[in-house]
Amino acid sequence: MTKRLAEVAKKAGVSEATVSRVLNGRSGVSEATRTSVLTALDVLGYERPTKLRGERARLVGLVLPELQNPIFPALAEVVTSSLAQRGFTPALCARTIGGVPESDYVEMLLDHQVSGVIFAGGSYALTDASHEHYRRLTERGLPVVLVNAGVDELGFPRVSTDDAVAVEQAYGHLRSLGHERIGMVLGPEGHVPSRRKLNALLQVTGSTEAQKWVERSSFSMEGARVAATKLVERGVTGIICASDVLALGAIRAARRLGRAVPGDVSVVGFDDSAFMTCTDPPLTTVRQPIEMMGQAAVDLLVSQIDEAREFSDELLFEPELVVRGSTGPVRRD
């Protein structure tokens, strides 16, 4: 018990006597200090006293698929800052290859009695993945918000970039430069945002023939290089990619085949993540409005937590085409 008091006191920045007063429900402690002590108790993994277990911590989980793609740290910065301004303590959970799976993070967050969870790029976006851990959150009545498209039956509110508008912008840009053989590098078959982008391509071209110019890839540069190589070898002169990371892989593919970017092949990314102005050439991409989306996700979550409001809708945010050096007029032989 003494060790626990010392650890919680250090984490909360208060005395052991103050921790003891909070845990025993005594008076003489400000609400802010009491919240800090209970949050420290939750973060350290200690059980609350029985009489305090009915209260959820002002702790919110943010679960990300990775931190290597710059778009996710950018989202984390917006969400954690917005949560802190609302009086919540963010708990960042980032998955890594061979590391803690998303379902285990959910169990940890439930054990810590979080007030809610924001997910970005999770298995909710994959139709063939297990979604059981999301159903556990529903059973607990825990507020949840998803960033970008996911499977419909989960019923959680979503804050998404409009994939149809993104494809319209990218495709229209390449067509305006004279490109006719335009391909796409998308995520896996069951990836819902990639499905939306494919449907948008079929709509904008008005033909199912466009599918022959589509290749699938994992969300990695190496996977994109393999996929884009197939497209370039088939004569594609413009490539639209489902992420900036995939676009960088496509540029690498073109160069390994002896093609110039944008002289022979134009490439468009998606995200406008950090450092895309520093690539060679600077990347033309469709910018996700990450700041607005992150703040909207927090607004939705806090409304569920503090006002017990229920949402199941999807908020769509319009992206913006950012033209840089990776796209240019089609080469006329």
Q: What is the pLDDT of residue 33?
A: 85
Rounded mean pLDDT, 48-58: 59
Tokens 């007030």 — which residue?
A: 115
Contacts of 229 (CB under 8 A, 6+ apart): 253, 256, 257
Is pLDDT above 90 for 191? yes
Is pLDDT above 70 for 51? no
3-state secondary structure of 34: helix
Q: pLDDT higher for 110 or 27?
A: 110
Is pLDDT above 60 for 273? yes
Is pLDDT above 80 for 309? no
Rounded mean pLDDT, 253-261: 98
Given pLDDT bands bounded at 50, 70 and 90, which one contains residue 149? very high
Percent of the chain, pLDDT > 90?
68
Q: What is the pLDDT of residue 2?
A: 66
What does the pLDDT look like over 20-41, one tens digit per residue?
Answer: 888 877 777 887 788 788 777 7
Burial class (CB in 10 A: 0-12, 13-18, 19+), 51: exposed
Rounded mean pLDDT, 91-99: 80
Contact between residue 59 and residue 112 where contact means Cβ atoms under 8 Å apart: yes
Percent of the chain, pLDDT > 70?
94
Rounded mean pLDDT, 290-312: 90
Q: What is the pLDDT of residue 100?
A: 80
Residue 289, preceding bond cis, omega within 30 degrees?
no
